[in-house]
Amino acid sequence: MTPAPRQLATAFRQTREANLDTGCLYVVATPIGNLEDITARAVRILKATPTLTCEDTRRCRILLRHIGAEPSELIPLHERNEAAASRLALRRLVAGRDVALVSDAGTPLVSDPGFELVRQAAQDGVPIVPIPGPSALTAALSASPVAGGRFVFEGFLPARQTARRAALAHRLRRPEAVVFFEAPHRIEATFADLVDLGAAERPITVARELTKVFETILHGSVAAVAAGLGAPRGEYVCILAGAAAPPLAEAEGVLDALLEELAPAQAARLASKLTGASRATLYQQATLRRPDARPDKNAT
């Protein structure tokens, strides 16, 4: 049974009250390029927190000097040492010391390390406070005419071509826009995969070096944007439009084939996944074709 919102709020409040002796874990978003983008709240937290975990201490110190923060301890936390660094930071938290988690740029945990520390802190009842701010994901979305209201975030695509093409092929069939990150040394190969998979005319937005001197945001078809990428520079945020909804007649053809073997609810569910058409509409059509079938209350 799912707790009511008030019960959840009470449970969280009791957890904090039961752990007043622990420190607080602040998850702090930092600039993705332009240092002026840091929030006043992030500056205050970073100045007041004695221990910081960061991917690269050298890059972190540039920001700390800019805002005048001098934490007493910097703990490197990156992909290669995430488990050990998380345990060390957690010991500080359990001992009553506040800790701030930052990544090299943007909001932690968005394709950056830090999840293990957040997971362990939550298990131990340590208060976790997000300090929102810059994010390459939301910055690119805000300037894109592609995504609209629905999108799926894939993070970085697989590095191996076979896995990457499989991931793209799956997403190209879906109606939602897909947002993914790509490394500069793989961007040309990824666009070549998209063209090979029949998406040359699919609308896309590509953003790189956001908020920096060489900020570039390109809109157009996959083929047109690929031709205008130029020399690879920095990491890319790509926003690829979802598949156009197929004509209902096409979706109904798939539905008819499935109804030969499946119940209406199952057929509608699978036809919706295969074509992107509305599941509710397909279920309605399925029941018209199979009026003898027992209604499924959960079908829509």
Distances (CA, A) of 1 to 7, 48, 236, 261: 12, 41, 42, 34
Fold match between 5-134 and 137-240? no
Distances (CA, A) of 140 to 11, 130, 197, 209, 228: 36, 21, 24, 11, 18
How far is Cα 96 from Cα 85, in angstroms, rounded to an integer?
Answer: 17
> 5-134 has which CATH code?
3.40.1010.10
Contact between residue 277 and residue 251 where contact means Cβ atoms under 8 Å apart = yes
Whether 246 has a pLDDT exceeding 70, the answer reads no
How far is Cα 158 from Cα 38, in angstroms, rounded to an integer?
Answer: 31
pLDDT band at 5 (very low <50, low <70, confident <90, very high): very low
pLDDT band at 100 (very low <50, low <70, confident <90, very high): very high
- What is the structure's pLDDT at 7? 52
Look at residue 245 and give its three-state secondary structure: coil
| Range name among 43-57, 102-116, 131-145, 280-294 with the lowest pLDDT average | 280-294
CB atoms within 10 A of CB 161: 13
Helix-strand-coil percent breakdown of the chain, rounded to 5? 45, 15, 40
Contact between residue 29 and residue 106 where contact means Cβ atoms under 8 Å apart = yes
Could you tell me which CATH class the domain 137-240 is placed in? Answer: alpha beta
| Nearest of 199, 200, 159, 203 to residue 183 by alpha carbon | 159
- What is the structure's pLDDT at 14? 44
Instruction: Record the pTM.
Output: 0.77
How far is Cα 194 from Cα 227, in angstroms, rounded to an integer?
Answer: 13
| Nearest of 196, 275, 188, 170 to residue 238 by alpha carbon | 188
- What is the structure's pLDDT at 2? 47
Contact between residue 49 and residue 67 where contact means Cβ atoms under 8 Å apart = no
For 258-298, write each residue's pLDDT tens digit: 998 899 999 999 988 888 788 888 888 888 887 765 555 55
How far is Cα 127 from Cα 121, in angstroms, rounded to an integer?
Answer: 8
Domain positions in the chain are 5-134, 137-240, 248-289
Mean pLDDT, range 137-151, rounded to an integer: 91
Q: What angle do CA 128, 46, 78 make, to 5 degrees?
A: 70
Mean pLDDT, range 174-179, rounded to an integer: 91
Across the chain, mean pLDDT equals 89
Look at residue 262 and give its three-state secondary structure: coil
Mean pLDDT, range 210-223, rounded to an integer: 96
| Range name among 53-57, 126-130, 255-259 with the lowest pLDDT average | 255-259
pLDDT band at 19 (very low <50, low <70, confident <90, very high): low
